Chain A
Amino acid sequence: MKELSLNILDVAKNSVTANASLIKILINETEETLEIKIIDDGCGMDEETVMHVVDPFYTTRTTRSVGLGIPLFKLEAEQTGGSLTVESRSIKEDLENHGTEITALFYKNHIDFIELGDIVSTVTTLISGSPEIDFLFEHKTVNGLVSLDTSQIREVLGADVPLDSPEIILWMTDSLKEEYERIDF
Chain B
Amino acid sequence: MKSLAELEEIRNRMKSQVVLREDSDAIRIVVGMATCGIAAGARPVLQSFVEAVNEEGLTEKARVSQTGCIGICQYEPVAEVYEAGKEKVTYVKLTPEKAKRIVEEHIKGGKVVAEYTIANS
From known contacts A9-B43, A152-B1, infer whether A1 and B50 are also in contact, taking CB-CB under 8 Å: no
Query: Which residues on B sit within 8 Å (CB–CB) of A152?
Result: 1, 4
Chain A residues in 8 Å Cβ range of B35:
10, 67-69, 72
Task: Report if A46 contacts B (CB, 8 A).
Answer: no
In the assembled complex, the CB of A11 is this many whole angstroms from the nearest CB of chain B, namely 9
The segment from A77-85, A96-104, A106-114, A163-171 that touches chain B is A163-171
Instruction: Say yes or no: A129 contacts B2, CB within 8 Å.
Output: no
> Is residue B86 contacting chain A, with contact meaning CB distance below 8 A?
no
- The DSSP consensus for interface residues of chain B is helix
Question: Which of A121, A166, A171 interacts with B7 by CB under 8 Å?
Answer: A171
Chain A nearest Cβ from B8, distance in angstroms:
6
Report chain B residues within 8 Å CB of A118.
43
Q: Which residues of B contact A13 (CB under 8 A)?
A: 33-34, 68
B2 to A6, Cβ gap below 8 A?
A: no
Q: Determine the main DSSP class of A at the interface with B.
A: helix
Binds B, one of A18-26, A28-36, A86-94, A174-182: A174-182
- A185–B110 Cα distance when bound, in Å, is 43
Asked whether any CB of chain B lies closer than 8 Å to the CB of A122, the reply is yes
| CB-nearest residue of chain B to A8 | B38
CA distance A74 to B115 in the complex (A): 38
CB distance from A87 to the nearest CB of B (A): 21
A160 to B11, alpha carbons, bound, how many Å?
8
Q: Tell which of A125, A153, A166 touches B53, judged by Cβ atoms closer than 8 Å.
A: A166
Q: Is B14 an interface residue (CB 8 A)?
A: yes
Contact of A121 with B14 in the complex, beta carbons under 8 Å: no
A156 within 8 A of B: yes
Q: Considering the complex, which residues of chain A in the window 123-174 have a beta carbon less than 8 Å from any beta carbon of chain B?
A: 125, 128-129, 147-149, 152-153, 156-158, 160-161, 165-171, 174
Contact B2 A174 (CB under 8 A): yes
B6 adjacent to A171 (CB under 8 Å): yes
Question: What are the 4 A-B residue pairs with the smallest beta carbon separation, nearest first?
Answer: A175-B2, A129-B66, A69-B35, A166-B54
Interfacial residues, chain B to chain A (CB-CB below 8 A):
1-2, 4, 6-8, 10-11, 13-15, 18, 21, 33-35, 38-39, 43-44, 46-47, 50, 53-54, 59, 65-66, 68
A-B contacts besides A1-B38, A67-B35, A168-B7, 13 pairs, CB < 8 Å:
A1-B39, A9-B38, A9-B43, A10-B39, A67-B34, A69-B35, A125-B46, A148-B1, A149-B1, A156-B8, A161-B14, A165-B21, A169-B50
